[in-house]
């Protein structure tokens, strides 16, 4: 059984499970799916109640914190016990492009040229992780939610703001991957 779990699954399995999450949450009490809101719930639980942004009944959303904890625990279990020992398969055209950018490690999901302590302590690492992380957090808050909230929950509820947000996420991702990322790799 464990060997079966270690094999790569078809992408549609995850799609079906994610797709079933939306009606399940709606049936179980009109809950909204999203990850970025959990940070607000954590802050509301820990911060003094005199900050207006955190004045709400966060305990009604405690299920979301359990969901995020489950995501973290599930990721740990999957990476520790269910990881595929086979090398990562990367398309040749993608490899050639990444090699141009100085990425040579294709043995794991996270190339060590980017995702390492040594890289973090460089200007490139600072821009990628600190500035990039701030922009993602700011964008999620400014956009009223993250990709999971808008693209999964919002689109399935036919919300126009979620359609605009999802299109913006996609355009921003394409622009970043094809313009900003190559530029940063050439600069550093």
Provide the pLDDT for residue 93: 93
- How much is the pTM? 0.73
Separation of alpha carbons 139 and 39, rounded Å: 14
Provide the pLDDT for residue 164: 93
Provide the pLDDT for residue 1: 67
Question: Considering only CA atoms, which of 182, 155, 157 is closest in space to residue 170?
Answer: 155
> Would you list the domain boundaries of the chain?
1-83, 116-188
Provide the pLDDT for residue 175: 94
Provide the pLDDT for residue 40: 84
Three-state SS at 59: helix
Provide the pLDDT for residue 72: 92
Could you report the average pLDDT of every consecutive run of 10 residues in the chain (188 residues)? Answer: 73 88 86 82 82 84 88 88 77 90 83 84 85 86 83 88 92 90 81
């Amino acid at each position: 059984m464990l060997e079966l779990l270690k094999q790569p699954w078809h992408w549609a399995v995850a799609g079906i499970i994610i797709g079933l999450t939306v009606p399940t949450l709606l049936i179980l009490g009109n809950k909204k799916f999203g990850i970025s809101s959990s940070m607000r719930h954590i802050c509301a639980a820990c911060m003094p109640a005199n900050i207006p942004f955190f004045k709400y009944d966060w305990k009604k959303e405690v299920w979301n914190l359990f969901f995020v904890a489950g995501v973290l625990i599930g990721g740990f279990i999957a990476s520790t016990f269910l990881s595929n020992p086979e090398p990562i398969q990367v398309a040749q055209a993608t490899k050639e492009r990444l090699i141009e950018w100085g990425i040579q490690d294709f043995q794991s999901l996270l190339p060590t040229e980017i995702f390492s302590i040594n890289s973090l302590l460089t200007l490139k690492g600072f821009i990628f992780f600190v500035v990039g992380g701030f922009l993602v957090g700011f964008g999620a808050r400014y956009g009223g939610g993250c990709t999971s909230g808008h693209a999964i929950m919002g689109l399935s509820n036919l919300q126009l703001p979620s359609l605009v947000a999802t299109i913006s996420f996609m355009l921003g991702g394409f622009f970043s991957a094809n313009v900003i990322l190559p530029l940063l790799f050439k600069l550093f």
